[in-house]
Amino acid sequence: MRLVILGGPGSGKGTQLQRLSKALNLPGISVGEILREAIAKNNFLGVKAKSYVESGELVPDEMMIQLIRLRLLQDDTRKGWLLEGYPRTPFQVEELEFLLEDFKQDLYGAIYLKLDEAIEIERSLSRGRPDDTPAIVQRRIQGFTERTTPILEYYARRGKLIVINAEKAQATVEAEILRKLKS
Ligand code: AMP
Protein backbone atom coordinates (compact mmCIF):
# COMPACT_ATOMS: atom_id res chain seq x y z
CA MET A 1 0.00 0.00 0.00
CA ARG A 2 1.31 3.45 -0.92
CA LEU A 3 0.00 6.44 0.96
CA VAL A 4 0.86 10.10 1.25
CA ILE A 5 0.13 11.99 4.46
CA LEU A 6 -0.91 15.61 4.03
CA GLY A 7 -1.48 18.22 6.70
CA GLY A 8 -0.39 21.65 7.84
CA PRO A 9 2.43 22.33 10.26
CA GLY A 10 1.62 20.87 13.67
CA SER A 11 -1.11 18.60 12.32
CA GLY A 12 0.65 15.52 13.69
CA LYS A 13 1.99 14.23 10.36
CA GLY A 14 5.26 13.05 11.87
CA THR A 15 3.54 11.28 14.76
CA GLN A 16 1.01 9.56 12.54
CA LEU A 17 3.75 8.59 10.11
CA GLN A 18 5.54 6.70 12.90
CA ARG A 19 2.37 5.12 14.25
CA LEU A 20 1.07 4.03 10.86
CA SER A 21 4.48 2.77 9.82
CA LYS A 22 4.38 0.37 12.80
CA ALA A 23 0.72 -0.55 12.41
CA LEU A 24 0.96 -1.24 8.68
CA ASN A 25 4.54 -2.48 8.70
CA LEU A 26 5.60 -0.10 5.95
CA PRO A 27 8.52 2.32 5.81
CA GLY A 28 7.56 5.80 6.95
CA ILE A 29 9.38 8.40 4.89
CA SER A 30 9.50 11.94 6.25
CA VAL A 31 10.94 14.37 3.76
CA GLY A 32 11.51 17.08 6.39
CA GLU A 33 13.36 14.54 8.52
CA ILE A 34 15.58 13.45 5.60
CA LEU A 35 16.42 17.09 4.91
CA ARG A 36 17.16 17.90 8.56
CA GLU A 37 19.37 14.83 8.86
CA ALA A 38 21.25 15.79 5.72
CA ILE A 39 21.81 19.28 7.15
CA ALA A 40 23.07 17.84 10.44
CA LYS A 41 25.49 15.60 8.54
CA ASN A 42 26.48 18.49 6.32
CA ASN A 43 26.40 16.19 3.28
CA PHE A 44 25.82 17.22 -0.34
CA LEU A 45 22.04 17.40 0.00
CA GLY A 46 22.31 19.13 3.38
CA VAL A 47 24.58 21.88 2.13
CA LYS A 48 22.24 22.56 -0.79
CA ALA A 49 19.02 22.44 1.26
CA LYS A 50 20.19 24.27 4.40
CA SER A 51 19.27 27.86 3.59
CA TYR A 52 15.77 26.88 2.39
CA VAL A 53 14.90 24.68 5.35
CA GLU A 54 16.24 27.19 7.85
CA SER A 55 14.14 29.99 6.42
CA GLY A 56 10.99 27.89 5.96
CA GLU A 57 11.13 28.17 2.16
CA LEU A 58 10.51 25.18 -0.08
CA VAL A 59 13.58 23.38 -1.32
CA PRO A 60 13.75 23.66 -5.16
CA ASP A 61 11.78 21.02 -7.04
CA GLU A 62 14.72 19.50 -8.97
CA MET A 63 16.37 18.63 -5.69
CA MET A 64 13.16 17.20 -4.25
CA ILE A 65 12.40 15.11 -7.33
CA GLN A 66 15.81 13.46 -7.15
CA LEU A 67 15.53 12.89 -3.44
CA ILE A 68 12.12 11.18 -3.76
CA ARG A 69 13.13 9.07 -6.74
CA LEU A 70 16.20 7.76 -4.94
CA ARG A 71 14.30 7.11 -1.72
CA LEU A 72 11.43 5.26 -3.41
CA LEU A 73 13.92 3.03 -5.21
CA GLN A 74 15.37 1.68 -1.99
CA ASP A 75 14.79 -1.97 -1.08
CA ASP A 76 12.47 -1.39 1.87
CA THR A 77 9.82 0.20 -0.36
CA ARG A 78 8.84 -2.95 -2.29
CA LYS A 79 5.63 -3.67 -0.37
CA GLY A 80 4.70 -0.01 -0.18
CA TRP A 81 5.44 3.14 1.76
CA LEU A 82 4.03 6.05 3.69
CA LEU A 83 5.25 9.42 2.53
CA GLU A 84 5.02 12.57 4.62
CA GLY A 85 6.01 16.06 3.48
CA TYR A 86 5.72 15.26 -0.23
CA PRO A 87 3.98 16.24 -2.45
CA ARG A 88 3.69 19.81 -1.21
CA THR A 89 2.93 21.60 -4.49
CA PRO A 90 0.79 20.77 -7.53
CA PHE A 91 4.03 20.36 -9.48
CA GLN A 92 5.24 17.76 -6.99
CA VAL A 93 1.88 15.96 -7.27
CA GLU A 94 2.47 15.63 -11.00
CA GLU A 95 6.05 14.53 -10.49
CA LEU A 96 4.93 11.84 -8.06
CA GLU A 97 2.36 10.64 -10.61
CA PHE A 98 5.07 10.42 -13.29
CA LEU A 99 7.35 8.56 -10.93
CA LEU A 100 4.67 6.03 -9.99
CA GLU A 101 3.79 5.56 -13.65
CA ASP A 102 7.44 4.95 -14.36
CA PHE A 103 7.63 2.40 -11.52
CA LYS A 104 4.26 0.87 -12.63
CA GLN A 105 2.87 1.48 -9.17
CA ASP A 106 -0.28 3.00 -7.79
CA LEU A 107 -1.00 5.45 -4.98
CA TYR A 108 -3.66 4.00 -2.67
CA GLY A 109 -4.68 7.25 -1.07
CA ALA A 110 -3.85 10.63 0.42
CA ILE A 111 -4.54 11.05 4.12
CA TYR A 112 -5.34 14.65 5.02
CA LEU A 113 -4.91 15.56 8.69
CA LYS A 114 -7.30 18.45 8.95
CA LEU A 115 -6.70 21.08 11.63
CA ASP A 116 -7.69 24.67 12.43
CA GLU A 117 -5.00 27.26 11.63
CA ALA A 118 -4.91 28.59 15.23
CA ILE A 119 -4.18 25.09 16.54
CA GLU A 120 -1.51 24.58 13.86
CA ILE A 121 0.32 27.70 15.04
CA GLU A 122 0.05 26.79 18.71
CA ARG A 123 1.27 23.21 18.18
CA SER A 124 4.16 24.22 15.90
CA LEU A 125 5.45 26.82 18.34
CA SER A 126 5.39 24.39 21.25
CA ARG A 127 7.78 21.97 19.46
CA GLY A 128 10.67 24.37 19.93
CA ARG A 129 12.64 23.33 16.85
CA PRO A 130 15.12 25.90 15.51
CA ASP A 131 13.01 26.35 12.35
CA ASP A 132 9.82 26.83 14.41
CA THR A 133 10.04 30.55 15.20
CA PRO A 134 6.73 32.49 14.95
CA ALA A 135 7.69 34.16 11.65
CA ILE A 136 8.73 30.89 10.02
CA VAL A 137 5.69 29.03 11.32
CA GLN A 138 3.41 31.76 9.99
CA ARG A 139 5.08 31.62 6.57
CA ARG A 140 4.84 27.83 6.43
CA ILE A 141 1.15 27.89 7.31
CA GLN A 142 0.37 30.53 4.69
CA GLY A 143 2.34 28.60 2.10
CA PHE A 144 0.67 25.38 3.14
CA THR A 145 -2.84 26.72 2.65
CA GLU A 146 -2.03 28.33 -0.71
CA ARG A 147 -0.25 25.32 -2.13
CA THR A 148 -2.20 22.51 -0.54
CA THR A 149 -5.73 23.45 -1.49
CA PRO A 150 -5.23 22.41 -5.14
CA ILE A 151 -3.50 19.20 -3.99
CA LEU A 152 -6.45 18.26 -1.81
CA GLU A 153 -8.78 18.98 -4.70
CA TYR A 154 -6.68 16.86 -7.03
CA TYR A 155 -6.81 13.78 -4.80
CA ALA A 156 -10.48 14.37 -3.95
CA ARG A 157 -11.38 14.36 -7.66
CA ARG A 158 -9.69 10.98 -8.03
CA GLY A 159 -11.52 9.58 -5.02
CA LYS A 160 -8.25 9.21 -3.15
CA LEU A 161 -8.60 11.79 -0.40
CA ILE A 162 -9.10 10.46 3.12
CA VAL A 163 -9.99 13.37 5.42
CA ILE A 164 -9.25 12.94 9.12
CA ASN A 165 -10.02 15.26 12.03
CA ALA A 166 -6.53 15.84 13.46
CA GLU A 167 -7.66 17.69 16.59
CA LYS A 168 -8.28 14.45 18.45
CA ALA A 169 -5.75 12.52 20.55
CA GLN A 170 -2.96 10.77 18.64
CA ALA A 171 -4.28 7.25 19.26
CA THR A 172 -7.78 8.28 18.17
CA VAL A 173 -6.47 9.87 14.98
CA GLU A 174 -4.49 6.70 14.20
CA ALA A 175 -7.50 4.46 14.84
CA GLU A 176 -9.64 6.65 12.60
CA ILE A 177 -7.12 6.42 9.76
CA LEU A 178 -6.83 2.63 10.07
CA ARG A 179 -10.62 2.32 10.16
CA LYS A 180 -10.98 4.40 6.99
CA LEU A 181 -8.25 2.45 5.20
CA LYS A 182 -10.11 -0.79 5.87
CA SER A 183 -13.53 0.47 4.81
P1 AMP B 1 8.63 19.79 7.49
O2 AMP B 1 9.34 19.13 8.61
O3 AMP B 1 7.84 18.81 6.65
O4 AMP B 1 7.81 20.96 7.91
O5 AMP B 1 9.76 20.34 6.50
C6 AMP B 1 10.73 21.26 6.95
C7 AMP B 1 11.31 22.03 5.78
O8 AMP B 1 11.85 21.11 4.80
C9 AMP B 1 10.30 22.85 5.00
O10 AMP B 1 10.09 24.10 5.61
C11 AMP B 1 11.02 22.98 3.65
O12 AMP B 1 12.08 23.90 3.72
C13 AMP B 1 11.62 21.59 3.47
N14 AMP B 1 10.70 20.67 2.76
C15 AMP B 1 10.04 19.62 3.31
N16 AMP B 1 9.28 19.00 2.39
C17 AMP B 1 9.47 19.67 1.22
C18 AMP B 1 8.94 19.51 -0.10
N19 AMP B 1 8.06 18.55 -0.42
N20 AMP B 1 9.37 20.40 -1.05
C21 AMP B 1 10.23 21.36 -0.75
N22 AMP B 1 10.74 21.57 0.47
C23 AMP B 1 10.37 20.74 1.46
What averages of pLDDT result for each successive group of 10 residues across the chain (183 residues)? 92 95 98 95 95 92 94 96 94 96 97 90 83 85 85 97 96 98 87
Which is it for the CA torsion 48, 49, 54, 58, positive or negative?
A: positive
Query: 86 near 35, Cβ under 8 Å?
Result: no
Domain chopping of the chain, boundaries: 2-182
Which pLDDT belongs to residue 140? 81
Which pLDDT belongs to residue 121? 85
pTM confidence score:
0.89
Which pLDDT belongs to residue 175? 98
Which pLDDT belongs to residue 126? 86
Tally Cβ neighbours within 10 Å of residue 29. Answer: 24
Q: Quick one: 2-182 is in which CATH superfamily?
A: P-loop containing nucleotide triphosphate hydrolases (3.40.50.300)
Peptide bond into 27 cis (omega under 30): no
- How far apart are the CA of 34 and the centre of ligand 1, in A? 9
Which ligand 1 atom is the nearest neighbour of the CA of 86? 19
Tally Cβ neighbours within 10 Å of residue 125. Answer: 16
Residues 6 or more apart in contact with residue 159 via CB below 8 angstroms: none
Q: Residue 10 in 3-state DSSP?
A: coil
Using CA positions, which residue lies closest to atom 12 of ligand 1?
53
What are the pocket residues of ligand 1 if the criterion is a CB atom closer than 6 Å to any ligand atom? Answer: 9, 31-32, 35, 52-53, 56-59, 64, 85-86, 88, 92, 140
